[in-house]
Structure 1
Amino acid sequence: MKRALAVTRLQFNKKLITLGVPAMILALVVLVSVIIALTMQRFGVDPTTPEYADGFKMSGGAVYSIPGFLVYLGVQAVSLTFPFAMSLGTTRRSYALGTALFYALQALYVGLISVVLLGLEKLTGHWFVEAYVFDTHLAGDGNFVKVFFTMFVLTFASLCIGGVFGGLFLRLGSKGPLILSVALVLALALLLLFLAPQLAAIAAATTRWHILGVLFAIALASVGGLYLALRRATVR
């Protein structure tokens, strides 16, 4: 376990990237949302109407803004640190476990930041200008528990997916991520084809917790895929 924890500490070595950038992205989303709210109000939109609140609550900026960076961070966490960790005598199993723990702690961090920002949003009357960022339908309808788990699972899944792509790159080179991408697209297309008659019923019965459960399962499968990819990966 000591080796795994050492890998986790290694992953947090670049604190500006691991801790600073996610916070800056979410802060930027708040700023952009405030600017949008002020612009709408200057055009004469009344922020006190139910229609205004309902429309703004359809925004998904807080949720959509961060997965791209997180997938990149997941890839980078593996591709840049794996050779160094191996040179220090870390086992591949310990490396995969330590990296997964890093992903989980990073997800916890983003989830907590989101809860704090939601609290500030409520305390300030939606950033003083009726700008809805975390008090939105996609983020969790202003519920602290829903917001935390939505951002936690989204972050963990994004990082783990990036990690397995990074592991396949180390194992097979550039064709590794390409093969996985093609396989995922084909699997999704076949799944949609098979479920097409039931899609409407499935969508109607699907809840936030179902989606988060699927994402968490994908994250765990990605951790397993990362370990399998690294078992025979060449240390470059």
Structure 2
Amino acid sequence: MTATALAPSRASGPVDVFRLHFVQRAMLLLTPPGIMLVVFVITAIIAVVFWRLGSEPGSAEWVANSRNNPAAIWALPGFFGWIGVQTVSLTFPLALSLGSTRRAFVAGTVLTHIALSLYVTVLLLLLLGLELATGHWFFHIYVTDVVVLGSGDPFQLSVTAFLGTLLVLSVGGAMAAAWVRFGALGPTVLAAAAVIALGIVAIVVVPVFDAFQPWWLAVAAVVAIALAVAGQYAFLRRASAR
């Protein structure tokens, strides 16, 4: 069944756009835990391989190596980058045909991205709770209690998961909006501008790198999200509904 067939009769406001995006709720809500299940299985297989090679589960070396596993944070962005693109490129023409304004569409899309980011955050928090309660899945398997997610700190995991997911979704949405507005050249130019901007930021930050604080990344993510959302609206204001 197509999204058009399932779509509400009108999509005039942000909440209507939100509902329109969630027509494909099964894909949006079931894919992330499915990805995490695959990550868990692969991580468990690797843990068993190292155990068979002579590593001791629970030893200091085992814990240190396991906590450097970045699989949980690298597995999800590809899916959410694609979702960020799809929520704009495929839904924008349909939303306008159902009565949505461009501003309402962007607001509803941002609302959708925030809801998905909260969902992923809650999912990872639940997995962290289970991981800690079971002694790391009864075999010292580290999936969410890893350095990149705060080494078991629920607050750091929440901030990282929420901002990271929202950033990927927002950037994907901005890229799609650039494509809707300018065609294939739009995302290319936008990506080049982003790379140049990141290079300039890196040049500025290098002299003060010794004073680096983790919260700098959170601030940078918030700024990047705000710019991506502003870009979506700026591009879609004059984009044709194709």
Task: Work out whether 1:18 is the aligned partner of 2:28.
Answer: yes
What TM-score does the superposition give when structure 2 sets the normalisation length?
Answer: 0.92
Q: Structure 1 residue 227 and structure 2 residue 233: aligned?
A: yes
Quote the sequence identity (%).
35
Q: Which 4+ stretches in 1 moved above 6 angstroms? A: none
Q: Measured at CA, do residues 208 and 31 of structure 1 come closer, stay the same or move farther in structure 2, by a change above 3 Å?
A: farther
Residue of structure 2 equivalent to 1:116: 126
Match of 1:218 among 215, 221, 224: 224
Q: Distance in 1 between matches of 2:218 and 2:190?
A: 22
**1:4-153 map, 5 Å:** 4-153=14-163
CA drift at 1:129: 1.4
Structure 2 distance, partners of 1:33, 1:118, is 15
1:154 Cα offset (Å): 0.5
1:84-106 per-residue CA deviation (whole Å, 9 max, x = no partner) reads: 00001100000000000000000
Tell me the distance in 2 between the aligned counterparts of 1:8 and 1:42: 49
- Report deviation, 1:57: 0.6
Q: Which ranges of structure 1 fall in alignment gaps of 5 or more residues? A: none
Provide the rounded CA distance (Å) in 2 between the counterparts of 1:212 and 1:62. 19
Provide the alpha-carbon RMSD of the alignment: 1.5
Cα distance, 1:182 vs structure 2: 1.1
Q: Find 1:157's aligned residue among 150, 167, 170.
A: 167
Superposition deviation, residue 2 in structure 1: 6.6
Residue type at the aligned position of 2:241: V
1:193 shift after superposition:
3.6
Query: Any unmatched runs of 5+ in structure 2?
Result: 1-10
Aligned residues of 1:161 and 1:222 also touching (Cα < 8 A): yes
In the TM superposition, what is the alpha-carbon distance from 1:206 to its structure 2 partner? 2.6
* 1:195 to partner: Cα distance: 4.2
TM, length-normalised to structure 1: 0.94
